[in-house]
Structure 1
Amino acid sequence: MKKIAYIELDTHAEIAGNFIELMQDSKAFEVDFYFSKRILSQLDLDVNEQINKSSPNEILNQLSRNNYQLIIIGTVHRNFNIYLKIVENYKTAIICHNLNFCKISRCNLFQNIFKKDFQYRLKLLLKEGLFSAPKILEKATQLLVLDDNLVQKRFKFLPLFYTKFSQEKISNFEHNIVIPGSVSQERRDYLQIFKEISELKSHSNFQFIFLGKANGKELVWLKNLVEKLSKNISLKYFTEKVSKEKFAENMLCADLLWCPVQEKTEFFSQQETYGKTKMSGNIGDAIKYEKTALFPKHYKTSKPFIIEEETDFEKQILSLPEESQFDFQKNFNKEKVQKDLENILKKLL
């Protein structure tokens, strides 16, 4: 069996969890995982023969004890001095979440230090080798993306999303629409959502679930909207972080995922475009829970379970079929995605 390592010391715990689930029964690969204390906690994992607790100070020594044929790094957003040593000494593939950041020059990195979070970014420069970022991405054996729509030049698709839950309708509402993700205007256009909801004229029963923590001005907007709505329209929102169990429970009852992602966002003051240089996590949500998702026109994707939002929101919602017409079980069942993942990994060796 081929032996590989998967490192996640920073963030993107759910993606690391998917890799574990897909590879745990693999007959082709033996995988060792190196996770920070935070990632272990988020995934509710205990240390064992394959799952190792790690840190930037420990990882190089841990890797040196084994003869890995490939190392996959889940996130390179800090600890650049450590990751540079890894790519210089091992065949390494890096998962990229912000493609423009992956192409950034040292000059732009320096300029961006002063634009936001100055103290934190200065620490990255002085203690964590920020200027090594371009060299890391240049020396890596392969750069990976989690959405096949983002494939370009050096960026190769790594399939990690699969369907875990079958469709089920457990809601008393005619139209149960879930907006997954933290309630932040920076990430999603909630003002447009509130406008669309307030203009609904149908007598059908609607429930809109804002499935993420709401606070600040967004919470005020939500409370104001609730007071204006007719009795056939219900809003559900959360003022605390949503647990994994509560998230899954509400996702399962959705007729539709509404994902009004903003067109532009930033990472390290570098502009990224959703659907072009950055993937929306709601794509993974739709696959995981076997749900049709409504996205803005600016989000470019060829995925058949993604519906482009039309001008007349109410008419579009009322005309949608009760269940997705896309066969998630055929296209994203665990066995198929595992096989596709193994084939990609073999090509990386």
Structure 2
Amino acid sequence: MPARIAYIELDTHAEIANRFHDLMLQSEAFSVDYYFSKRILEILEVDGDNIFLSSNSDILKQLNQRHYDLVVIGTVHRYFDLFFRITKRYHTAVICHNLNFIKASKLDLLNGILEKETRYRLKLLLKEKLFLKDKVYKQAQSLWVLSQELAQEKYEYLPLFYNEFDSAAENEIPTIVIPGSVSQLRRDYERVINRLYNATLPLKVIFLGKASGQELEKIKKLKSEKTVLDIVYFTEMVPQPVFDDWMKKADILWCPIQDETKFLGIKENYGITKTSGNIGDAIRYGKRAIFPKFYQNKYPFILLEEGYFSGKKPVFNFAFEDFTKDKIRKDLEKKLLKACK
């Protein structure tokens, strides 16, 4: 008889929920019910007898109506009082996205509240019981991370990303795709633009995300001044079919992530305490990806920026056979089976 799992996503990370859902569709070892907020359901557009509209006020009553061997919480960035009760009552696994936030002290959290977005962060503190954060993570039986470089000590790697598309691209002019919103906040577009000003050979460069403000003006200026570059950019959100099409056409992805970002005022370091969604992009579309030299990784398809742009011809020796859907599903099922015990 299949083990029964509840997967909860009430906040963000719809794409992670979608990966889990897609992988488990063909699973014979597990039966999964999904509890999604209205916002998540609108993004995913999934349906079925095992898909339930939920909210922080409904989820406990819904869970009580069925027996589950494991409850998976996709995001614990809100509703700490709710998830505290769930981890007390159920065998629980939590997907972890910001490791410094998890270990942050009450003083660190208070300083973050006073930094900005004070009204919203005070709501997390007073109404949603932010200070229960530590108990949620301590009571959960399993803590999962989404990339191999973050798997250490109490955090286990959860395989969710698989290769969906043929990686072959046939472009006369090398095509570099830079996926993600064109904002200096989490990615260093100043460094990208400065490097592109030094380009001497023809390149096609796609800024595959909405560009606005100073970044948009700098891209327009680059496009007008560097005729050796064929630049494509967007001033609105990129529709998913357009995003997919450009990603499939890419010869390589360029992921100029910043060394540091912040979550609720707590500093996080990419590759050390937080993973980049671009890892999943590279796996899904079967593409080599350029990352800054500071990024710690265990993936053979990642190239360091300094080496790639050094003028030397890079040597690629990897394949995406380790990321087929069937293999990732089997690896995921092993992880779920372990967590259910």
Q: TM-score range by the shorter chain?
A: over 0.9
Counterparts of 2:113 and 2:192 in 1: how far apart (Å)? 34
Quote the residue 1:208 is aligned against: 205
Q: Among all aligned residue pairs of Structure 1 and Structure 2, give the percentage whose two residues are the same amino acid.
A: 48
Matching residue of 1:136: 136
Q: Is the 8 A contact 1:106 1:134 kept in 2?
A: no
Report the counterpart of residue 31 of structure 1 in structure 2. Answer: 32
Provide the rounded CA distance (Å) in 2 between the counterparts of 1:224 and 1:320: 30
Aligned CA-pair RMSD: 1.3
The yes-or-no answer on 1:195 pairing with 2:169 is no
Could you say which residue in structure 2 is the equivalent of 1:342?
333
Where do 1:156-235 residues align within 5 Å? 156-169=156-169, 171=171, 173-202=172-201, 205-230=202-227, 232-235=228-231
One-letter code aligned to 1:257? L
Q: CA deviation at 1:168?
A: 3.2
Which amino acid in structure 2 is aligned with residue 192 of structure 1? Answer: R
Whether 2:54 is the aligned partner of 1:43: answer no
Shift of 1:312: 7.0
TM-aligned CA deviation for residue 314 of structure 1: 6.4
Q: Which residue of 2 aligns with 1:80?
A: 80
Superposition deviation, residue 315 in structure 1: 1.8
**TM-score between the two structures when normalised by the length of structure 1:** 0.94
1:327 matched to which residue of 2?
A: 319
The residue that corresponds to 1:264 in the other structure is: 260
Structure 1 match to 2:274: 278
Q: Which residue in the other structure is 2:18 paired with?
A: 17
Stretches of structure 1 that go unaligned for 5 or more consecutive residues are none
Deviations 1:87-116 (A, max 9, x none): 010011100000000111223212221111
Q: Does 1:237 align with 2:236?
A: no
Asked if structure 2 preserves the Cα contact closer than 8 Å seen for 1:275 and 1:299, the reply is yes
Look up the equivalent residue of 2:55 and give its one-letter code.
Answer: S
**1:128-159 Cα shifts (integer Å, max 9, x gaps):** 11111111111111111010110111111100
Matched residue of 1:315: which SS? coil
What letter matches 1:118 in structure 2?
T
The Cα of 1:201 is off from its aligned counterpart by 1.6
TM-score by length of 2: 0.96
> What pairs up with 1:245-264 in 2 under 5 angstroms?
245-264=241-260
Quote how far apart the aligned CAs of 1:73 are: 0.5
Structure 2 unaligned blocks of 5 or more: none
1:252 maps to amino acid: K
Q: Secondary structure of 1:310's partner?
A: helix
1-side partners of 2:272 and 2:121: how far apart?
26
After TM superposition, give the deviation of residue 53 of structure 1 in Å.
Answer: 0.7
Contact 2:210–2:235, Cα closer than 8 Å, also in 1: yes
User: What amino acid sits opposite 1:174 in the alignment?
Assistant: I
Which ranges of 4 or more aligned residues in structure 1 deviate by more than 3 Å?
Answer: none
Q: Distance in 2 between matches of 1:167 and 1:201?
A: 26
Residue type of the alignment partner of 2:197: S
SS of aligned partner of 1:161: coil
Q: Is the 8 A contact 1:179 1:259 kept in 2?
A: yes
Q: How many correspondences in the alignment?
A: 339
